[in-house]
Every structure is written in C-alpha cells, then in structure tokens.
Amino acid sequence: MAACIFCKIIKGEIPSMKLFESEKTLAFLDIGPLSYGHSLIIPKYHGAKLTDIPDDQLSEIMTVTKKIASASGAENYNILQNNGRAAHQEVDHVHFHMIPKPNAEEGLVIGWPAKKGDMERLKSLCEEIKAKM
C-alpha cells in the first residue's frame, strides 16, 4: 500500500489532473493515454482486485465513470477494469479506465478469441456460480 502509485495520488504525494473527487472515489486523466481523454476512476479504498473492495466503497464508481464518459464527449468509448497480471493489470489498485475510441487507430485495441461454448458445461457452471452467490 505504501508503494502504491494510486494511493500516493490519493494522498496528494503525486500530482494528478483530477476530474472528480469525493470521500470514496477519485478520477483523473491517465498520463499514458491510449487516446485523448483516457481517464482512470479509482476507489480511495486500497485493494488490488475488485473482490478486495467492500461494496460500500464501490457505490459511486460506475456513476462517476458514466459522468466522465458523458462529459468527455466521446461518441464511442470502452470501460475497462482488469484483475491480475494475466488480465493485464499493471497497478495493484482497483481502477476503471474510460477510454475514448475516436477511430480505429486510437483507443483500446482488442482481440476477442471467442470459442463455441459447450452448453452442458455452461449450464453446470451457471448453477455452480449461482449457488455461491
């Protein structure tokens, strides 16, 4: 936590271009943007993965993300949230990206290697997940 760059931004130890701040949430422009207006929305509560953050500390995240997307004027955009290195998370503090997608060259570029699902396995997985919720 002491070395977390986002916690340092929250504490004001590292400057940022703040877009929004409340008791629970901070939003700022990404200084290594994929496109003009790329923003980060973070809970002030430190946790590496989404499941590490208490629900009450996430209550504003999507509302703030929606407001920033709207205020950016972007007609097309991605909302992205990664959990763990294999999922391309680079900073171990939960964060949501709002990435404007003005054209094919700028913004997030995704490969989506979809496969045909095995319906029996999917039904079984569905029941397993529902039982744990």
Q: Which residues are known to be catalytic?
A: 95
Q: How far apart are CA 121 and CA 77, in angstroms?
A: 33
Element (H, E) at 131: helix 119-132
The identity of residue 109, as a single letter, is V
